[in-house]
């Protein structure tokens, strides 16, 4: 799976030969719903893109990793250092980040997330809220209302989705394998569409890990940047086209 990122202020690496190993770790929390009052004669505001589509909840297997009081404390401390708020909950997520695992084993990903091993010298360990098997089975490893370390600069604003896939010939090749694997990509599309409707997330804010540094929601007070190349922008555009066809 993809590692959270890098301390260095790097863009995408020019080479991904050692990237496959580095991408074996990652990071990612129920938002509070708010209702705003408006006069009866006032026209309603234009709906966000995700509000216009009705998406049914896909079948999700709750396969939770350990996220007890100590890990929550660690996540709150991490958030204070990197985002300026001492919080472990993910309230009102604004984005979804797509990843692939850089391995072909769901069980190894689950074990890594459950281990809570330090990443880049900091606690807590990495995780993503969802992991999708090649068969199309969706595992919810962490509730979407909890932060996970999956993407530097966005863990306080984004839900992370991992898809089981080896790096193989490179990031673009790996993205294309997922896009061509019908059970897996269909599950990913349905999960993303449901999360968009649930949390009012725009399609433009469904991004790949490789795009994270350019997100308007990106923030890291320690100056960390992502150096991953999983889910390149051109492949995310293909994902977006298919996502819009669901509506």
Give the pLDDT band of residue 117 (cuts 50, 70, 90): very high
Residue 178 is predicted with a pLDDT of 99
Question: Is the pLDDT confidence value at 220 over 50?
Answer: yes
Question: Is the pLDDT confidence value at 24 over 60?
Answer: no
Query: Helices (DSSP H) in 65-154: which residue ranges?
Result: 69-83, 106-115
Write the pLDDT tens digit of every residue in 77-98.
999 999 999 999 999 999 999 9
Residue 2 is predicted with a pLDDT of 52
Question: Among 36-40, 99-103, 106-110, 223-227, where is mean pLDDT lowest?
Answer: 36-40
pLDDT, average across residues 125-135: 99
| Residue 109 near residue 131, CB atoms below 8 Å | yes
Q: Which CATH class is domain 19-28+54-246?
A: alpha beta
Q: Report, in this order, helix, strand and coil percent for the chain, each rounded to 5.
A: 35, 15, 50
Residues 62 and 79: their CA atoms lie apart, in Å, by: 25
- Which residue ranges make up each domain of the chain? 19-28+54-246
Write the pLDDT tens digit of every residue in 170-215.
999 999 999 999 999 999 999 999 999 999 999 999 999 999 999 9
| Residue 126 near residue 112, CB atoms below 8 Å | yes
Residue 7 is predicted with a pLDDT of 53
Distances (CA, A) of 115 to 77, 79, 150, 245: 18, 20, 15, 38
Strand duo 95-100 + 158-163: pairing: parallel
Higher pLDDT: 242 or 29? It is 242
Question: Among 19-23, 84-88, 140-144, 222-226, where is mean pLDDT lowest?
Answer: 19-23
Write the pLDDT tens digit of every residue in 168-181.
999 999 999 999 99
């Amino acid at each position: 799976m993809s590692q959270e990122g890098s301390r260095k202020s790097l863009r995408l690496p020019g080479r991904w030969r050692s990237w496959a190993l580095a991408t074996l770790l990652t990071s990612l929390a129920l938002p509070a719903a708010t209702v705003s009052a408006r006069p009866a004669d006032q026209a309603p505001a234009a709906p966000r893109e995700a509000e216009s589509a009705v998406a049914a909840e896909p079948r999700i297997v709750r396969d939770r990793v350990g996220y007890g009081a100590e890990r929550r404390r660690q996540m709150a401390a991490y958030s204070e250092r990197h985002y300026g708020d001492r919080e472990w909950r993910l309230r009102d997520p604004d984005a979804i980040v797509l990843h692939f695992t850089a391995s072909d084993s769901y069980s190894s990903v689950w074990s890594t997330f459950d281990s809570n091993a330090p990443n880049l010298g900091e606690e807590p360990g990495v995780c993503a809220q969802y992991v999708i098997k090649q068969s199309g089975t969706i595992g919810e490893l962490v509730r979407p209302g909890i932060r996970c370390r999956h993407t530097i600069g966005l863990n306080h604003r984004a839900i992370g989705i991992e898809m089981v896939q080896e790096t193989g010939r490179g990031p673009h090749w790996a993205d294309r394998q997922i896009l061509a694997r019908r059970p897996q990509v269909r599950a990913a599309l349905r999960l993303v569409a449901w999360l968009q409707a649930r949390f009012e997330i725009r399609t433009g804010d469904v991004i790949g890990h490789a795009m994270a540094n350019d997100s308007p929601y990106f923030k890291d007070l320690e100056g960390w940047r992502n150096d991953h190349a999983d889910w390149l922008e051109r492949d995310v555009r293909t994902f977006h086209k298919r996502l819009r066809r669901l509506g």
